[in-house]
Amino acid sequence: MASNAWPHLAGRIEGGEHILPIRVYFEDTDFSGVVYHGAFVRFLERGRSDFIRLLGIGHDGLARGEHGERLAFAVRRLALDFTAPARIDEVVEVRTRLARLTGVRVALRQSVHRAAETLVAADVEVVLVDGRNRLARLPAAVRRRFEAGADD
């Protein structure tokens, strides 16, 4: 119900790319006056979470064992380039796109923008791990949803 009341809360997918708007709050800034670099890492995770949400893959469903066993996404690699700062009260957009899919690994290309300007560019590799934190193969249903999203 709540989600219907706020239709764009999870952003949207356009041309295979997911776009999520994020407001900069107090919590995201540091004493230097701009957004703390670690806050962008959180912003990117929100973008990935809402991307997979719109693909029909939810953290909650994975954790409940929807695909056979308890699974959770874990980040394996993260490479970030910071090119311009963001400030309190601004709205930035996180863009997320599938870059490559293997049997166990999802590579995503992400970026953070303010209007036309790129603030951060990121390459991220995520995997699924089971309840004991061991690498799991991507369930076929999860793979298909990523592939379908890339074609949207």
Place of tokens 């706020």: 6
Closest contact distance (angstroms) between CB of 140 and a second copy is 22
Based on the shown chain and the rule CB under 8 A, indicate whether residue 34 belongs to the binding site for a second copy. Answer: yes
Q: Which is nearer to a second copy, 97 or 114 (CB)?
A: 114
**Which of 18, 17, 87 is CA-nearest to residue 8?**
18
CA angle 76, 148, 67 (to 5 degrees): 60
The whole-angstrom separation of Cα 24 and Cα 42 is 12
Burial bucket for residue 107 (CB in 10 Å: 0-12, 13-18, 19+): middle
Bridge-based pairing state of the strands 71-82 and 17-23: unpaired
Q: Does 100 bind a second copy (CB under 8 A)?
A: no
Closer to a second copy by CB, 52 or 151: give it: 52
Binding segment for a second copy (CB under 8 A), chosen from 71-79, 94-102, 104-112, 138-146, is 71-79
Residues with active-site annotation: 30
Among 69, 77, 135, 137, indicate the residue that binds a second copy (CB under 8 A): 77
Residue 32 or 68 with smaller CB distance to a second copy: 32
How far CA 122 is from CA of 23, 24, 99, in Å, comes to: 19, 19, 11
Query: What are the residues binding a second copy (CB under 8 A)?
Result: 1-3, 5-10, 21, 23, 25-27, 29-34, 36-38, 41-42, 45-46, 49-50, 53, 58-60, 63, 72, 74-82, 85, 87-89, 91-93, 114-115, 129, 133
